[in-house]
Amino acid sequence: MKKLKKPDFEKLSAGDKVRIVMNNETKEGFLLESHEPGILLLKLNNGYNIGLKKEDISEIKLLEKNKKEKKDKEMKLSGQKPIIDFYLTGGTISSKLDTKTGGVEWLIDSKELFNIYPEIFDIADIRVKSPFMKASENMDYKDWIKIAKLVKKSLNDTQIKGVIISHGTDFLHYTASALSFMLGKLNKPVVLTYSQRSSDRGSSDSRLNLICAAHAALSDMAEVLVVGHANINDEYCYALQGNKCRKMHSSRRDAFKPVNCKPLAKIWADGKIEISRDFNKRNKNKIIVDAVFDPKVSLVKFYPGEDPDILDYYLKKGYKGIVIEMSGLGHVLSQGKNNWIPVLKKAIKKGLLVYAAPQTIYGRLDPYVYSPGRKLQEIGVVFLNDILSETAFVKLGWVLGHKNWRGTVSTKLKMLENINNEFNERLGMSFLI
């Protein structure tokens, strides 16, 4: 550890890790670029940025020079380890600290990935690819199709043992659902992983998530998986079925939970995997990608008193189908001036395909318990059992992307077909973890 006798700010640069003493108080963090001469900017170890008056600083200890000044390590395949294709698509896990601004910037190659997460390179040889870099809320079906086509190449490459996709958290479960339909029955694991907190923070979840994702990619679970923290501690990760999980918390590290099912497995950093239920096993089959999507579909959340005239919008805009998040066992307003049932009946007669998904997240729909549910079914609303509403939306767009599946009967049959375990035949209570 090098100690500067006096606060010599000229010898320090953005990105240096320092310990600062001022007013008998000590602070540690990374220096950031400051545009005010008398102000020193510091990113604390907890991730927050603060500004300090230089005149108040009595001592600075240099703990570590900016890593950017170190020579990048050339990343080459060792030929001694299994190979994983790693697709960087965006999100917090695909970013790094920008030491000049205190914000984050995208990772671009294997060198940068190694500098931040060297542990995964001990597990496997990593081939880094970056088809695009986006926050997940900026992604759409065109991105899902692009990822699916690229991943197909990796899955059909006999040298590649598995695939990891780094992804933003907000809409990760949409992408996971899309890949579960577009890629079909897999021959190798396709693992989506994420982080809620950036890699420069002491509480970051990125390191454990990536290590567990690497182990999952080498496992026998030939499924589209979402891998991340199982709880708020750094104990182990869950491997979740991609079309049966969703983000349940805005900021906790264990944001993703399984819905109406158990996790597929628990994964520890040392490579231990504890399987919880059946899965499609690794095999030598060739993957035929089925990456289609009709964007003229929508997800509509029913709320108290909602005017059913919203359906006119979808008809006028040429939408082919909608998924309605219904309350309880499958209900919408069924009396008074805003009665949805006659409006839905007219919309369905005009060709709009209407599907029902549960708003409750857990549990399944049942149109036979209450009379409004029976009426909805009689007019042509199709109830999708225990499917997640987001998965239903993705599935509807994928189904309608096949021209030969379009039509009231054929679309209904495909939507009710359990294509990749998006439905559970029976629901117990053991999944409520």
pLDDT: which is higher, 97 or 93: 93
User: Which range is least confidently modeled, 166-170, 292-296, 396-400?
Assistant: 166-170
Q: For the domain bounded by 2-68, which CATH number is listed?
A: 2.30.30.520
116-127 as b/e: b if 16+ CB within 10 A? bbeebbebbbbb
User: Which range is least confidently modeled, 262-266, 395-399, 408-412?
Assistant: 408-412
Residues 282-318 have pLDDT tens digits of: 999 999 999 999 999 999 999 999 999 999 999 999 9
Choosing among 3.40.50.300, 3.40.228.10, 3.30.1240.10, 3.40.50.40, the CATH entry for 297-416 is 3.40.50.40
- pLDDT given at position 1: 44
Domain ranges of the chain: 2-68, 71-275, 297-416
Check if 71-275 and 297-416 are the same fold.
Answer: yes
Please count the other Cβ atoms lying within 10 Å of the Cβ belonging to residue 344.
Answer: 22
- Segment 107-120 shows an average pLDDT of 65
Structure tokens at 429: 């209570």
Structure tokens at 35: 């545009």
Residue 260 CA to residue 362 CA, distance in Å, equals 6
Q: How many residues does the chain have?
A: 433
pLDDT at 71 over 50: no
> What residues contact 45, with CB distance under 8 A and at least 6 apart?
28, 29, 201, 202
pLDDT at 102 over 50: yes
- Segment 143-158 shows an average pLDDT of 98
User: Which range is least confidently modeled, 16-30, 327-341, 381-395?
Assistant: 16-30
pLDDT at 200 over 70: no
- Does the global pTM surpass 0.85? no
- pLDDT given at position 74: 44
- Segment 106-135 shows an average pLDDT of 77
In terms of CATH architecture, what is 71-275?
A: 3-Layer(aba) Sandwich (3.40)
pLDDT at 96 over 80: no
Residues annotated as catalytic are 92, 169-170, 247
**How far is the CA of 95 from the CAs of 165, 194, 220, 265, 360, in angstroms?**
14, 11, 29, 27, 34
Structure tokens at 187: 């021959």
pLDDT: which is higher, 38 or 350: 350
pLDDT at 53 over 50: yes
pLDDT at 212 over 50: yes
Q: Where are the alpha helices (DSSP H) in 57-198?
A: 110-116, 120-123, 141-155, 172-182
pLDDT: which is higher, 407 or 258: 258
Average pLDDT, the chain: 88
pLDDT: which is higher, 108 or 121: 121
pLDDT at 68 over 60: no
pLDDT at 98 over 70: no
**How far is the CA of 173 from the CAs of 20, 223, 355, 392, in angstroms?**
43, 14, 20, 12
Residues 234-278 have pLDDT tens digits of: 999 999 999 999 999 998 999 999 999 999 999 999 999 999 999
Structure confidence at residue 371 as a pLDDT band (50, 70, 90): very high
The one-letter amino acid code at 143 reads D
